[in-house]
């Protein structure tokens, strides 16, 4: 197996941007007004990745446990901020507190478990491992809880009368909202489970592909990918479950009435 990484020059990367031109003309041909979004997303992606790349070079060269911890906390904080911004018109104060609590509860213990117990990173604060792993777990957990929030709010709005009727008939808030909880949890987990179903046969995940391209033994890349996917599944599951468990309760008052 050839372990030497093929170098990519600036001009080769520039050639790849031909795809943007193709997509632009596809959008124009269909009359879809997404050209500005396409160019804005492309420019923003490029700048962000370049800046992050140079930042990581510095962080990796001057590894420090405090800096590594701060970066992980910033990731978690930015995930919370993104959720607040996405659902700014739908979240009351109680739901915001629930999100603020559930994201760190669902991600940080999973990160600690997989970094220090499963992979056993040495030194324990090595940012080369902790930052990418944390990013994948936090990012996917944010996506999962986003789907859970959307389903929870939508189902409570649509099923208001049915829930109220169940409460009048003597059902507890937990029983009356059980189907909503289950649907929201299912919606949050489904993308991750579908990804796991197709992984390895239909597609090779990004982390595994990157490791193989960098010359890592495919069997080692597979083991890393298995560990990461289990970490992502754990992060998404715990984060969403904690949010739904406490989030459902925010729709009822102390007299078990729907608010």
**Sheet strands (E) in 27-92:** none
In terms of C-beta distances under 8 Å and separation of at least 24 residues, what long-range contacts does 216-223 make, across chains too? 217/1
Q: Residue 249 in contact with residue 257, Cβ under 8 Å?
A: no
Q: What is the pLDDT of residues 97-155, one digit of tens each?
A: 999 999 999 999 999 999 999 999 998 899 989 999 999 999 999 999 999 999 999 99
Q: What is the pLDDT of residues 77-110, one digit of tens each?
A: 999 999 999 998 888 899 999 999 999 999 999 9
Taking the complete model, does pTM exceed 0.95, yes or no? Answer: no
DSSP secondary-structure letter at 258?
B
What is the domain partition of the chain in residue ranges? 1-62, 63-251
Q: Torsion over CA of 129, 216, 11 and 44, rounded to 10 degrees? A: -30
Q: Tell me the C-alpha distance between 258 and 159, whole Å.
A: 11
Q: Residue 145 in contact with residue 240, Cβ under 8 Å?
A: yes
Structure tokens at 101: 């609590």
Number of other CB atoms surrounding residue 252 within 10 Å = 18
Cα atoms found within 13 Å of the Cα of residue 210, Cβ hemisphere only: 6
pLDDT at 46 over 90: yes
């Amino acid at each position: 197996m050839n372990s030497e990484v093929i170098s990519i020059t600036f001009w080769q990367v520039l050639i790849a941007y031909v795809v943007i031109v193709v997509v632009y003309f596809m959008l124009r041909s269909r009359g879809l007004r997404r050209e500005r979004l396409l160019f804005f997303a492309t420019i923003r992606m490029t700048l962000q990745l370049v800046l992050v790349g140079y930042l990581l070079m510095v962080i990796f060269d001057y590894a420090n446990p405090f800096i590594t911890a701060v970066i992980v906390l910033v990731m978690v904080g930015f995930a919370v901020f993104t959720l607040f911004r996405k659902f700014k018109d739908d979240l009351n104060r109680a739901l915001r507190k629930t999100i603020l609590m559930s994201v760190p509860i669902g991600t940080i213990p999973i990160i600690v478990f997989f970094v220090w117990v499963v992979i056993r990173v040495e030194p324990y604060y090595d940012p080369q491992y902790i930052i990418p792993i944390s990013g994948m777990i936090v990012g996917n957990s944010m996506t999962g809880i986003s789907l859970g929030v959307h389903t929870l709010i939508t189902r409570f709005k649509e099923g208001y009368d049915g829930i109220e009727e169940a409460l009048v008939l003597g059902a507890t808030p937990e029983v009356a909202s059980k189907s909503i909880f289950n649907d929201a949890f299912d919606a949050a987990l489904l993308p991750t489970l579908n990804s796991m179903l197709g992984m390895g046969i239909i597609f090779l995940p990004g982390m595994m592909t990157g490791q193989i391209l960098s010359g890592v033994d495919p069997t080692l890349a597979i083991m890393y990918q298995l560990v990461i996917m289990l970490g992502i599944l754990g992060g998404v599951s715990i984060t969403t479950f904690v949010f739904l468990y406490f989030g459902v309760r925010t729709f009822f008052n102390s007299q078990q009435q729907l608010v």
